Homo-oligomer: A and B are copies of this chain.
């Protein structure tokens, strides 16, 4: 009897469809322009029907928030694969800034709207998407520390946090303070990288047959 199964699937599909349309609306006109009534109109249902699939507007926002965060994480993933830590940090910087500037409304939704939205990302201390991706960043600084390229006496986790704050600051100032025309985000990003990474020490263990 695959009938309840089919109904469940259809229900899930509709839910997915609603989220997809909502995402489009947010990306096109911003989160504030996402109204339950217009969303209902767009998916061709009555407004009340949306409440059969989501508790309220905030529930939709939360879902879009965690999905947006996953997109951000995915955008970082290729850069995170790079072995050499300085290059990795540089590439991750590029990817982060690129995502934030190319998908401003998504970025706003994730990190700049309501504090309650991003709570879901960090509720599990170790598990959730938030800590997991922050871990990737911490690992860069651990590798940098191992290579002797971090300021001494500062824990990698703290450096990672400052670095993240720097990235977020660059993106969000570009998004909100559009009036302030400073250097391009990429330039600022590279400045941030070179500021947090110490110059390479003279090779104690030479790479190959030197000295």
Contact = CB atoms under 8 A, between A and B. Distances in A.
Nearest to A165: B169
Contact of A168 (B120, B162, B173, B187): B173
A159 interface: yes
Interface in A162-192: 162, 164-170, 172-173, 175-183, 187-188, 191-192
Contact of A122 (B169, B177, B195): B177
A82 interface: no
A144 to B, nearest CB: 12
A159 B130 CA distance: 29
Nearest to A183: B158
Contacts of A168: 169, 172-173
Nearest to A166: B166
Given A165-B188, A167-B169, A195-B151, A176 B112 contact: yes
Copies of the chain in the assembly: 2
A181 B123 CA distance: 10
20 contacts: A111-B176, A111-B177, A118-B177, A118-B180, A119-B178, A119-B179, A121-B177, A121-B180, A134-B180, A158-B182, A158-B187, A161-B182, A162-B166, A162-B188, A162-B195, A164-B169, A164-B173, A166-B169, A167-B169, A172-B172
Given A112-B176, A168-B169, 14 more contacts: A112-B112, A115-B176, A118-B179, A121-B179, A121-B180, A130-B179, A158-B182, A158-B183, A162-B191, A164-B169, A164-B173, A165-B188, A166-B169, A195-B195
